[in-house]
Amino acid sequence: MAETPDHPAGSSSPSKYHNFDVDYVIHYKLPTSPSESAKAEAAFSQLIHVLAKAGFATEVRPGKQGSNSLLVFVKLASLPLLQSQVYRSRIQDWLYGVRTAAPNPTNLPLSRYFDSEPVTEAERLRLAYLLITKTKNENGAGVTPKIGTWKYVESIFPLHDRKFNRQWITEWSTKYVLDEEDLTKIRDKFGERVAFYFAFLQSYFKFLLFPAAFGSAAWLLLGGFSWFYAAVNCLWSVIFFEHWKMKEVDLAVQWGVRGVGKIQLPRPQFQFERESLDPVTGEIVKVYSPYKRLARQALQVPFAIACVVVLGNLIVSCFAIEIFINEVYIGLFKQYLTFLPTILLTIFMPTFTTLLTKLAEKLTDLENYETVDAHQDSFVQKIFVLNFITSYLGIFLTAFVYVPFGKILVPYLDVFSMTAQKFTTEGKPLPTQVWQINPDRLKKQVIYFTVTAQIVNFATEVIVPYAKRKAFKTVEKVQALSEKNEEGLLKDSPDEAAFLKRVRNEAELADYDVTIDYREMVIQFGYLSLFSVVWPLTACSFLINNWVEARSDAMKIAVNSKRPIPWRADSIGPWLNSLGFLSWLGSLTSAALVFLFNTNKSGPDGSPWEISAWALLLSILFSEHLYLVVQFVVRGVLAKLDSPGLQKERAERFAMRKLLLEQMIEHD
Amino acid sequence: MAETPDHPAGSSSPSKYHNFDVDYVIHYKLPTSPSESAKAEAAFSQLIHVLAKAGFATEVRPGKQGSNSLLVFVKLASLPLLQSQVYRSRIQDWLYGVRTAAPNPTNLPLSRYFDSEPVTEAERLRLAYLLITKTKNENGAGVTPKIGTWKYVESIFPLHDRKFNRQWITEWSTKYVLDEEDLTKIRDKFGERVAFYFAFLQSYFKFLLFPAAFGSAAWLLLGGFSWFYAAVNCLWSVIFFEHWKMKEVDLAVQWGVRGVGKIQLPRPQFQFERESLDPVTGEIVKVYSPYKRLARQALQVPFAIACVVVLGNLIVSCFAIEIFINEVYIGLFKQYLTFLPTILLTIFMPTFTTLLTKLAEKLTDLENYETVDAHQDSFVQKIFVLNFITSYLGIFLTAFVYVPFGKILVPYLDVFSMTAQKFTTEGKPLPTQVWQINPDRLKKQVIYFTVTAQIVNFATEVIVPYAKRKAFKTVEKVQALSEKNEEGLLKDSPDEAAFLKRVRNEAELADYDVTIDYREMVIQFGYLSLFSVVWPLTACSFLINNWVEARSDAMKIAVNSKRPIPWRADSIGPWLNSLGFLSWLGSLTSAALVFLFNTNKSGPDGSPWEISAWALLLSILFSEHLYLVVQFVVRGVLAKLDSPGLQKERAERFAMRKLLLEQMIEHD
């Protein structure tokens, strides 16, 4: 790759990568109706005005051909403004305890101070975004996309650094293991929030090496449903979870963002009930009754029940139809009918999930949080419930209903046979098989979810959007050609043409949502923790998948999404709790699965289950408490070990204390 | 009571209460052997020397008649020394984040600063003690009682404030409920560590009102083993535990000691393996390998097993003998033999407990902690295991072995019958009853532990030591009278006579150990949480007991103990975990007890227990997870509510931030 400098002038290749020092692009969509149009135009001139007032230089260019939109290129006008923003933000960090050392402790002139602690790209972009969105009281421009006056502001996004992206993708696709340096690069470009995802993914990937190796050995030597594999797997999940908790803190310290969660972004959609005097700050604050919110949060319970009922019914129905067709029915069109449940699931599952996700969004809005983080956390919680059901309920049904209670279910399946018999016009009974439990079903299902579904997921995540965009582009080109004949193309200056084309494309890309990637990994961890005892090769599949996943997620950010705003974060947030929950639940399900399926003689086929029920419960109870004890011990041991990040933090704090103490004592 | 001023001169009554401004008394015991005597005398003159060097004024008086000991009265010589100590300590607090506001932020001269934030008595005494015990490197006197050079230093103790004590006891014995002000007074006199105990006791007492009322109602309307009572009791214990966790933080903030645990006292007994460079401070520190310590900590497991085996065997044996004598044996001396198990328990239990406590001390010493707190925590953990067994094992055996497995135990009891038959010289079989399970046994046992044992405990804690001291005094007086004839009494100056008599008495008193009081309360909470479903009046008994307990503990401190050194603390320490553990375990035992004893038909008498075992396990499993869910919810709800202490802290932090931010911005 050509090593072109960042700010060249006049050469031919640079504009291919060059962003003209633009900080943000505001995509402004003008409405088509004339009444709205006037409003939108007024708002647009206001936009330019407030941006200028907040200290931004702006340039406007037309948006994509025929989209009736404008692109506002925004750039912080002066270096002192940027420096004062950075300095304020660093002081705030220090006061909130995010950074240990005060910025500029030796009182250098600001320009020289910034030589010693330079501004990173992520810092600049984050503060620029904050300056655009902060209220006017806080000296910002107060632009909030899609809300109120700014409802025509479609999006505010930074521009991709093509050169970096290209290098990034090339590098990653040619190396096996990502290192700290790779993460630091991501952090400097995309902020700690995205970097934490990759750090988690990387840590998880490394940890997967052990269960992949051990799982293969167990698969060869022990087979499925081995209690030894289950125990080792649980122990592994405890160690992984506890290790990550430490690693998270460590990374936060190394990246200088520990406790950054305390500095909260206000949520512009927050609706206040009344204003009151804050007992803490003595300022007037907007208040929403916590009791009202608690009452609304209680709606999560009916929501969870609704999820279970709606998705549960769908899954159970498809499950029953599937069993009937595959294992009872042997009549006409069997080869086609086999696909019926899959078709039903493929149609209804995404529909219901979308509906319920919308409902979750509505509920979270209703809970009316003051801060972006609280809103996000609450939403993630609901999404986890939803995904838990869609991902695991099927396997739960097979393992804990279909197999153990199979014999009891037979009469219900006879209902199917009877219905089936009515379908024949001639009144002749439809031919049906004698029903028997299919013991391989569980394994097949687990393999489906851990291998097939992962591949399908990769396809829908990377290949489909890419193909879609390519197809759309072709259509648009054809349209543009036909329009050209009618109106003539907007003429970009030749210097800017390539750049503008690139920006227009980026404006059309989707927002990158790290939540979706986290969800995927957490749900995957769930399969490993909950069901891998069924098929010990699970971790192998995940190991391969996650190598690809890291690269495809990088691709997704670099090629298929707008460049994310480089937010900070000091952890993987609410997903940590989800991980802990799945790890714990794994101790229950593994014990139950081993107990039910390990010996084929007396348990699973439904015969003497009543007598061994107490043994099943005892083994679950034992396993769970063993898990808790092991967790306690692992936590204790890990807490004793020192981590480089925490050591660094302590050293800094100590140095600061010593310095201050000496100063004070001298003074005294 | 006479309202005499604190510093009178020449009046007749004051010396009765007056302490001559003495900060500490050092009780120095001279050995009797001549070889030792020389060493001890050399050490004594060194003692006076180091104290003087550290800034103390000293006076020496003879100790108690015939005890061959000396009393060194120690007092901080100058006000500036005290002020500089206080100022340093407050700066340290500020640097460690214990206090939010920097001391003396407006740079007043020190003398005027101390007018605005005066030194409390507890603060003065604590810092004086630290100055006596700190090493010489830290400008202290380096006196460590009973260790090394200072092995003849029997104790270092502050003097009781008789006037305050008298008022305290009078006040408390005439009021029903203690309030915040009472706690603040204790805090100012005896330090936060003792104040936290009384705060906990008070909070627990208030919370007991509910289960006492509800328990009485349940006892009248529902009887024992009601699932409804069990559920309410568990819910109560969750709320109490979570509430206390918050209250603890709140109090710590109000008392300005939050995070005080971070400022650690080095443990003088700590033995280092090697010296190394601390990566944090860059100083040379004494290190003990954490892996070695971990290995030694692992000895806790065999220790716990030893406790179970030794105490378990004792309890089981006595239990078996008791059952045999009470319920099988009907031969000779039955009325006397009934007491045999009680006698055996009364002899062996304290013996074994003392032995095991000593073992626990040895083990904790072996673990070789750097700090006093870590040592104490580890010791408390072992003590809890020990007490758990001695307190609850008997009831566990009755409830979960004796009753459900009774029928299976019969053959073993026949062994007793057979042995008993051999005892008769005439070869005639001893008369034995046909054995039947005594269903009232469990209830009787619970009542014994929750009523009788509490009263016995009160007696041994308060009345016995008091009586003992009275008796000793009489003996001593008689001895003194006889000695007087031989040697003649040491003559005290008449001004000091009453004072010295008082100090000599105080020197003989035991140290007050708050751990013992905590242990008692935690174990009591355990009975309520684990077994109160057997006898719902439990909480009533505890309510009455704890009213008395608060007063008798106050008496114990005021009359039966040396005045405690006013240490700080920011919580009830390791006991919090014990409380949480007992509360959780309660959800298991309550479910099991209700299930086993609620219906008398099918479970407890040992007949069809195998069939209902799965139902028992299911109910335990259900109950435990319900408990965990409830805990999660209660925690979430309580976290949303604001507490005055945390609000105050936030307000202070905010004010500090605002101030600093303004200063910084101005400067910039």
Q: How far apart are CA A371 and CA A262, in angstroms?
A: 11
Higher pLDDT, A498 or B640: A498
**pLDDT score of A393 more than 50:** yes
- What is the band of B602 on the pLDDT scale with cuts at 50, 70, 90? very low
Averaged over A338-367, what is the pLDDT? Answer: 88
For A2-6, A207-211, B233-237, which range has the lowest pLDDT when averaged over its residues?
Answer: A2-6
- What is the band of B488 on the pLDDT scale with cuts at 50, 70, 90? very low
Residue B275's H or E segment, with its range, is: strand B274-277
For A277-291, A379-393, A403-417, B376-390, which range has the lowest pLDDT when averaged over its residues?
Answer: A403-417
Q: Are B627 and B584 in contact (CB under 8 A)?
A: yes
How high is the pLDDT of residue A418? 60
A–B interface: beta-carbon pairs under 8 A: 77
B460: phi > 0 → left, psi -120 to 50 → alpha, else beta; which? alpha
How high is the pLDDT of residue A7? 41
Chain B positions in Cβ-Cβ contact with residue A614 (cut-off 8 Å) = 610, 613-614, 616-617
Higher pLDDT, A385 or B7: A385
Higher pLDDT, B264 or A379: A379
To the nearest whole Å, the CA of A620 is away from the closest chain B CA by 9
- What is the band of B607 on the pLDDT scale with cuts at 50, 70, 90? very low
Which tens digits make up the pLDDT trace of B25-44?
999 998 888 888 888 889 99
Q: How far is Cα of residue A341 from the mean position of the Cα atoms in its chain?
A: 29
Which tens digits make up the pLDDT trace of B415-430?
665 665 555 555 555 5
Burial A363-375 (b: 16+ CB within 10 A, else e): bbbebbbbebbbb
Q: How many C-beta atoms surround the C-beta of residue A63 within 10 A?
A: 24
Which tens digits make up the pLDDT trace of A395-420?
998 888 887 777 776 666 666 656 65
Q: How far apart are CA B368 and CA B385, in angstroms?
A: 20
Higher pLDDT, A8 or A114: A114
Of A91, A290, A613, the CB nearest to B614: A613
Higher pLDDT, B603 or B326: B326
Burial A234-271 (b: 16+ CB within 10 A, else e): bbbbbbbbbebbbbbbbbbbbbbbbebbebeeebbeee
Percent share of chain A, pLDDT over 90: 36
Higher pLDDT, B278 or A455: A455
Higher pLDDT, B608 or A208: A208
**A644 to chain B: closest CA residue:** B279
Which tens digits make up the pLDDT trace of A32-86?
888 888 888 899 999 999 999 999 999 999 888 777 889 999 999 888 899 889 9
How high is the pLDDT of residue A273? 83
Chain B positions in Cβ-Cβ contact with residue A616 (cut-off 8 Å) = 614
**A290 to chain B: closest CA residue:** B640
Q: How far apart are CA B159 and CA B164, in angstroms?
A: 12
- Mean pLDDT for chain B? 83
Q: Are A597 and A442 in contact (CB under 8 A)?
A: yes
Of A282, A621, A654, the CB nearest to B280: A654
Chain A positions in Cβ-Cβ contact with residue B665 (cut-off 8 Å) = 88, 91
- What is the band of B586 on the pLDDT scale with cuts at 50, 70, 90? very high
User: Are A294 and B637 inside 8 Å of each other by CB?
Assistant: yes
- What is the band of A638 on the pLDDT scale with cuts at 50, 70, 90? confident
**pLDDT score of A527 more than 70:** yes
Q: Are A454 and A524 in contact (CB under 8 A)?
A: yes
Q: Judging by beta carbons within 10 Å of its beta carbon (0-12, 13-18, 19+), is residue B607 exposed, middle or buried? A: exposed
Q: How far apart are CA B508 and CA A550, in angstroms?
A: 72
Q: A-contacting residues of B 257-286, CB under 8 Å?
A: 279-282
How high is the pLDDT of residue B485? 53
**B619 to chain A: closest CA residue:** A617
Dump the DSSP string for B623-655: HHHHHHHHHHHHHHHHHHS--HHHHHHHHHHHH
Averaged over B448-453, what is the pLDDT? Answer: 88
**ipTM of the complex, rounded to two decimals:** 0.75
Interface residue A412 vs chain B (CB under 8 A): no
Q: How far apart are CA B612 and CA B505, in angstroms?
A: 63
Interface residue B88 vs chain A (CB under 8 A): yes
How high is the pLDDT of residue B431? 57
How high is the pLDDT of residue A32? 83
How high is the pLDDT of residue A426? 52
To the nearest whole Å, the CA of B614 is away from the closest chain A CA by 4
Higher pLDDT, A420 or A241: A241
Q: How far apart are CA A201 and CA A185, in angstroms?
A: 16
Q: Are A314 and A352 in contact (CB under 8 A)?
A: yes
- In the structure encoding, which two tokens stand for residue A667, read together? 């003074």
Q: How far apart are CA B127 and CA B134, in angstroms?
A: 10
How high is the pLDDT of residue A419? 62
Residue with tokens 């220090």, as numbered in its chain: A94
- What is the band of A604 on the pLDDT scale with cuts at 50, 70, 90? very low
Averaged over A552-560, what is the pLDDT? Answer: 90
- What is the band of B9 on the pLDDT scale with cuts at 50, 70, 90? very low
How high is the pLDDT of residue A482? 65
* Highest-scoring range by mean pLDDT, A303-317, B112-126, B230-244: B230-244
To the nearest whole Å, the CA of B609 is away from the closest chain A CA by 11
Averaged over A205-215, what is the pLDDT? Answer: 95
Q: By C-alpha distance, which of B359, B361, B350 is closest to B306?
A: B359
Averaged over B551-572, what is the pLDDT? Answer: 91
How high is the pLDDT of residue B375? 92
Q: What is the pTM of this model?
A: 0.82
- Mean pLDDT for chain A? 83
* Highest-scoring range by mean pLDDT, A80-94, B1-15, B203-217: B203-217
**pLDDT score of A544 more than 90:** yes
Higher pLDDT, A183 or A429: A183
How high is the pLDDT of residue A432? 58
Q: Judging by beta carbons within 10 Å of its beta carbon (0-12, 13-18, 19+), is residue A496 exposed, middle or buried? A: middle
Of A280, A637, A651, the CB nearest to B647: A280
Q: How far apart are CA A529 and CA A583, in angstroms?
A: 6
- What is the band of B241 on the pLDDT scale with cuts at 50, 70, 90? very high
**pLDDT score of A174 more than 70:** yes
For A656-660, B166-170, B214-218, B376-380, which range has the lowest pLDDT when averaged over its residues?
Answer: A656-660
Contacts of B621 (CB under 8 A, 6+ apart): A617, A620, A621
Q: By C-alpha distance, which of A581, A604, A583, A580 is closest to A592?
A: A604
Q: By C-alpha distance, which of A430, A394, A422 is closest to A322?
A: A394
SS3 breakdown of chain A: % helix, strand, coil, rounded to 5? 70, 5, 25
Dump the DSSP string for B376-407: HHHHHHHHHHHHHHHHHHHHHHIIIIITTTHH
Chain A positions in Cβ-Cβ contact with residue B81 (cut-off 8 Å) = none
How high is the pLDDT of residue B415? 62
**Vertex A152: Cα angle to A149 and A154 (nearest 5):** 125
**pLDDT score of B7 more than 60:** no
How high is the pLDDT of residue B347? 85
Chain B positions in Cβ-Cβ contact with residue A650 (cut-off 8 Å) = 280
- What is the band of A196 on the pLDDT scale with cuts at 50, 70, 90? very high
Residue B325's H or E segment, with its range, is: none
Higher pLDDT, A469 or B388: B388
Residue type, A629: V
How high is the pLDDT of residue A454? 85
User: Are A661 and B92 inside 8 Å of each other by CB?
Assistant: yes
User: Can you list the alpha helix ranges (DSSP code H) found in B255-339?
Assistant: 290-297, 300-323, 334-337
- What is the band of B521 on the pLDDT scale with cuts at 50, 70, 90? very high
**A652 to chain B: closest CA residue:** B280
How high is the pLDDT of residue B568? 92
Q: How far apart are CA A594 and CA A616, in angstroms?
A: 9
Tell me phi and psi for residue A266, to 5 degrees. Answer: -70, 150
**A105 to chain B: closest CA residue:** B664
For A70-79, A293-302, A311-320, B595-604, which range has the lowest pLDDT when averaged over its residues?
Answer: B595-604
Q: Judging by beta carbons within 10 Å of its beta carbon (0-12, 13-18, 19+), is residue A103 exposed, middle or buried? A: buried
How high is the pLDDT of residue A220? 92
Q: Are B159 and B563 in contact (CB under 8 A)?
A: yes
To the nearest whole Å, the CA of A398 is away from the closest chain B CA by 21
Tell me phi and psi for residue B68, to 5 degrees. Answer: 55, 50
How high is the pLDDT of residue B12? 43
Contacts of B515 (CB under 8 A, 6+ apart): B376, B380, B383
